Amino acid sequence: MSTTAAAQSSSTGSARLPRWEHHIAGKETAPADGRYFASDNPTTGEAWYEAARGTAADVDRAVAAARSAFESPHWRRMSQTARGALLRRVGELVGENADRLARMESTDNGKLLREMTAQLASLPEYFHYYAGLADKIHGETIPASNVDVLNYTSREPVGVVGAITPWNSPLTLTVAKLAPLLAAGNTAVVKPSEHTSASMLALAPLFEEAGFPPGVVNVVTGMGDEAGARLVDHPDVAKLSFTGSTATGAWIAERAGRRLIRAGLELGGKSPQLVFGDADVASAANGVIAGIFAAAGQTCIAGSRVFAHRSVYDELVERVVGRARTIRIGDPLAPETELGPLAMRAQLAKVEDYVAAGRAEGGQVAHGGRRPKVGLGGWFHEPTVFTDLPNDARLCREEIFGPVVAIMPFDADAEALQLANDTAYGLAAGVWTTDLSRAHRAAGALDAGTIWVNMYRAMSPMSPRSGFKASGLGVEHGSEVIREYTRLKSVWINTSDEPAGDPFVLRS
């Protein structure tokens, strides 16, 4: 962050807010046209800092720095083991700065401080895991029909990666991209969400502190239709990695297709939770609560549709509603708070629109549906439980990204699976049952990339994540993601001392 407070901003009209610059080639870099934008604290509804408003010129500078770093022998010829050592070191630095970064994220997006603290405490694991994988990225020898021919493959970095990241878990979702792409030898330009730029700008200098060459990791802040669009279309960006809405992901895929480059897309979800008649209903209710009200429902894996067997339906609704009534809403920095605000004013309006639509379609609000009286001035919404809605209601079809769940009954296993799969999305699903055979059958039948049984929202850097249908393309996490950030080369070598023969003379 700049050491001087900002004067009145020409773009926001805000007075003397702390100011963040771009991070390009290892340095704080002012925006090319001198414009900044304000970011609001969702707890108070007031601006708390300014960030550089990037344009095409800023993105061009950042991509040029990333390209130069990629081609530099300081990075390109660095051994894979040495890259792994740098990743391990930056992981240690993230751990040392975790409390500061967690508080920054909580202030910027309204998620509970204790949740962000837990996320930041786990981030070193990402760097350490991919540090261990860095010198295990290799090809293989292919048996050839001719004993005088050696055929082998190698995996090479793709080049400059453009990473566009969301506002709900900024550093976790960004590090999930940075750690593997750096392990593979790429360089990056990150465009964080304009709603949550501060933590990424605070993280960026730690890479140079760890010993990464300047330009390996660059950050340009700004609007999606300005900085983000230029990053998507930049001719020197070899791969795009995006986490966000399905609509934006589809646009990025179309733009990437025009240039025939790869795009990894982690997109939206409308994830179901299935509670079968033999389930531990108390555990299932806690899983439903965790799946939808943690993070105020602002996660792509939110379990926003719940299907409960009719024999346990009433009990499940009663338990979920009972706990929803006692959830403590307030300042996310306070240790007693269980539900913070929505991240943006527009997100609150979106949630209210869906609640109104659910009521209009005949749904009954078993709890919530309003703004609570918190007295903080921010963008809060009660945890909301709907019943009596069909699976084809708008509230059950579209991603809300808020603390709103619909609970619906079913009578038979096949019906539950059909209802769960009747969606455009396929990101995640939860299964609650004490029957192991039923659990395996459901996991195999559910059309989603991640299935949790008698748990929800667990994740690890070691376990791959993928989205089916409109929930995305490609893989994140795990060793499989290395394929996303490398290109495969096949090399053929004639080891014979015999001269090459006339190609038009056939040999017996």
User: Are the beta carbons of 486 and 156 closer than 8 angstroms?
Assistant: yes
Do the bridges between strand 237-243 and strand 160-164 make them parallel or antiparallel, or are there none, so unpaired? parallel
User: Are the beta carbons of 196 and 39 closer than 8 angstroms?
Assistant: yes
Residue 353 has phi, psi (to 5 degrees) of -65, -40
d(CA 143, CA 147): 9
Judged by DSSP in three states, 491 sits in: strand
d(CA 334, CA 341): 13
Residue recorded with tokens 């500078």: 61
d(CA 241, CA 249): 10
User: Are the beta carbons of 86 and 208 closer than 8 angstroms?
Assistant: no
User: In the annotation, is 336 catalytic?
Assistant: no
User: Are the beta carbons of 79 and 87 closer than 8 angstroms?
Assistant: no
Q: Which residues contact 48 (CB under 8 A, 6 or more apart)?
A: 17, 18, 39, 40, 41, 107
Maximum separation of any 2 CA atoms in the chain, in Å: 90
Q: Work out the number of other CB atoms within 10 angstroms of the CB of residue 89.
A: 18
Q: Which of 266, 399, 476, 484 is catalytic?
A: 266
d(CA 467, CA 484): 14
| Six-digit token string for 261 | 């480059």
User: Are the beta carbons of 69 and 61 closer than 8 angstroms?
Assistant: no
Amino acid (1-letter code) at residue 346:
A
User: Are the beta carbons of 288 and 303 closer than 8 angstroms?
Assistant: yes
- Any idea which residues carry the catalytic annotation? 266
